[in-house]
Structure 1
Amino acid sequence: MTVSNVVRIVPAAMLVGAVVAGTPAAQADNRRLNESVAVNVYTIQQNSGCTTDLKINPQLQLAAQWHTNDVLHNRALGGDIGSDGSTAQDRANKAGFVGTVAETVAINPALAISGVEIMNQWYYRPDYMAIMSNCANTQIGVWSENSLDRSVVVAVYGQPG
């Protein structure tokens, strides 16, 4: 390799590095994961004898988003109560949902979480299984967020009033 070849390679490598460095970081799109959680809950309901459909509700999704972010950024949280003392019902009311709600929360101490891991956390908890299989819960909002060492998924289930 001659000196002139090295001179041509180095600027090309620097250009590629500059382009990569200037590219904005991609934000994780958990839409498919969130939808798959809703589908899994629907399947559990159908296997429990429910004949109703499960509809995604934007107000419940907003309530789930608020709690997901709260749990992700407040490591002392591990359940349904928010850092401000709010409950799932408080958050759903604030989001504009009229009716009764319940909630399930999954936390994984890793960058990612799969639908299988979520269902493994929820399916074998009798209280969460009762929520998921309750035929009166006809609406749902699911939200998930990730950090380098923590993934959080919250589902809020609604019974419209």
Structure 2
Amino acid sequence: MDTARRCARARQTLGALASLVVVVGSLTAIPSAHADNRRFNDSVAVNVYTVQQQAGCKTDLKVNEQLRQAAEWHTYDVLYNRDAVDGDMGSDGSTVQDRARKAGYTGNVAETIAINPAIAISGIELINQWYNNPAYLAIMQNCAYIQIGVWSWSTIDRTVAVAVYGQPT
């Protein structure tokens, strides 16, 4: 092979490699698709506040970081231990009070949980689930619960939302 042909082939190979680098580089720069459920979680707290106001509560409902942490722990537990957890009890035997205490919260607590067999749930679907469950409705309407923490997360086939309600001591 003569020198001119080798040079041409080398330029082709380098051009192909450069194109490959650009393509691979652009693929790795695509942000991952992790959902930020903050707006949804905040809307759940607002909807619970509305339920409380409709029940005659005169206090404000404030978001509490410790309760949010307890809700987050249980959300992931329910989501990833689906054979062992489908309610209030954690896979380690913990109760909502245990999880809140572990997060540093010292008051009385209760929780509501929604498990939806889909990648998402709307705020209306969630509140309807809780509103139509007499035990959950009683928790939401309890005016003593003046603090709340909400967390939700989804997998491809399941969404879990947990709200932990607090009454400071």
Structure-1-length-normalised TM-score: 0.88
Give structure 1 regions of 4+ aligned residues with deviation exceeding 3 angstroms.
11-18
For residue 134 of structure 1, the aligned residue among 138, 142, 148 is: 142
Larger Rg over CA atoms: 2
| Structure 2 partner of 1:34 | 41
Matched, 1:45 2:55: no
Measure how far apart 1:44 and its partner are. 0.3
2:84 pairs with 1:57:
no
Matched, 1:91 2:99: yes
Deviation per residue, 1:100-151 (Å, 9 max, x gap): 0000000111111110111111000000000000000000000001111111
Shift of 1:22: 4.0
Structure 1 residue 15 displacement after superposition: 4.5
- Matched residues, percent identical? 64
Cα distance change on mapping 1:12 and 1:135 into 2, 3 Å? same
Aligned residue number for residue 7 of structure 2 = none
Structure 1 runs not aligned, ≥5 long: 1-10
- 1:7-156 → structure 2 map (5 Å cutoff): 15=22, 19-76=26-83, 77-156=85-164
Structure 2 unaligned runs (5+)? 1-17
The count of aligned residue pairs is 152
Task: Report deviation, 1:96.
Answer: 0.6
The 2-side partners of 1:65 and 1:154 are apart by: 7
Matched residue type, 2:77:
D
Quote the RMSD (CA, aligned, Å). Answer: 1.8
User: Equivalent residue of 2:159, what SS?
Assistant: strand
In structure 2, distance between residues paired with 1:14 and 1:114: 41
State the Cα deviation string for residues 40-77 of structure 1 (Å, max 9, x = none): 00000000000000000000000000000100101121
